[in-house]
Amino acid sequence: MFTRFKNFLYGISVNRLSRLGIALTTSSFILFIIMQLAMFTGILVNAYVGLIAYLLFPSLIIIGLVLIPIGLNFHKRDTGRTIKEILKERFNAVELESGVTGSKVFRTILILTIFNILFLGIASNRMLNYMDGSHFCGTACHSVMSPEWTTYQASPHARVKCVECHVGEGAGALINSKLNGTWQMISVTLDLFERPIPTPVHQLRPARETCEKCHWPDKFYGNRLKTIVSYQRDSLSTPEYTTLGMKIDSGTGTDRRGIHWHVAQENEIRYISVDDEREKMLWVEVNQPGGGYKRYTNKEYPVQPDENKNIRNFDCVDCHNRATHVYEDPQKAVNERINLGLLDRSLPYLSREALHAIIKNYPDSNAAMDGIANHLRGFYKRNYPKLAATKIAAIDSSVHILQDIYNRNIHPQMNISWGSYPSHIGHKGESGCFRCHNPRLVDDENNSIPYDCVLCHSIPAYESSEPFKFLSSADTTDRDYMMHRYLQQEFLDSYPD
Site residues (CB under 6 A) for ligand HEC, limited to 153-172: 156-157, 160, 162, 164-166
Phi, psi of 115 (to 5 degrees): -60, -45
Judged by CB, which is closer to ligand HEC: 198, or 378?
198
Residue 491 makes contact with ligand HEC by CB under 6 A: yes
Residue 440 makes contact with ligand HEC by CB under 6 A: no
Judged by CB, which is closer to ligand HEC: 74, or 241?
241
Residue 131 makes contact with ligand HEC by CB under 6 A: no
Judged by CB, which is closer to ligand HEC: 96, or 459?
459
Rounded least distance, CB 200 to ligand HEC, Å: 3
Rounded least distance, CB 435 to ligand HEC, Å: 5
The site map against ligand HEC for 184-213 (x = CB under 6 A) is -------------x-xxx--x--x--xxxx
Residue 141 amino acid letter: C
Site residues (CB under 6 A) for ligand HEC, limited to 455-474: 455-457, 459
Tell me if 155 sits within 8 A of 326, measured CB to CB. yes
Judged by CB, which is closer to ligand HEC: 75, or 157?
157
Tell me if 410 sits within 8 A of 367, measured CB to CB. no
Residue 377 makes contact with ligand HEC by CB under 6 A: no
Taking alpha carbons only, the member of 252, 165, 271 closest to residue 209 is: 165
Q: Which member of 14, 388, 433, 461 binds ligand HEC (CB under 6 A)?
A: 433
Q: Which member of 105, 282, 317, 461 binds ligand HEC (CB under 6 A)?
A: 317
Stretch that binds ligand HEC, among 168-176, 184-192, 256-264, 465-473 (CB under 6 A): 256-264
Residue 137 makes contact with ligand HEC by CB under 6 A: yes
Site residues (CB under 6 A) for ligand HEC, limited to 392-421: 421
Residue 50 makes contact with ligand HEC by CB under 6 A: no
Rounded least distance, CB 332 to ligand HEC, Å: 7
Judged by CB, which is closer to ligand HEC: 50, or 258?
258
Q: Residue 301 to residues 210, 275, 307, 320, 438: CA-CA distances in angstroms? A: 34, 12, 12, 26, 14
Q: Residue 162 to residues 40, 165, 317, 381, 416: CA-CA distances in angstroms? A: 22, 6, 15, 46, 20
C-alpha–C-alpha distance, residues 267 and 250, integer Å: 10
C-alpha–C-alpha distance, residues 71 and 74, integer Å: 5
C-alpha–C-alpha distance, residues 184 and 190, integer Å: 10
Q: Which residues contact 249 (CB under 8 A, 6 or more apart)?
A: 220, 221, 222, 223, 257, 258, 259, 260, 261
Q: Which member of 47, 123, 269, 357 binds ligand HEC (CB under 6 A)?
A: 269
Tell me if 377 sits within 8 A of 354, measured CB to CB. no
Rounded least distance, CB 299 to ligand HEC, Å: 15
Rounded least distance, CB 26 to ligand HEC, Å: 36
Residue 336 makes contact with ligand HEC by CB under 6 A: no
Tell me if 135 sits within 8 A of 39, measured CB to CB. no
C-alpha–C-alpha distance, residues 401 and 339, integer Å: 13
Site residues (CB under 6 A) for ligand HEC, limited to 270-289: 271, 284, 286
Q: What angle do CA 313, 318, 219 make, to 5 degrees?
A: 85
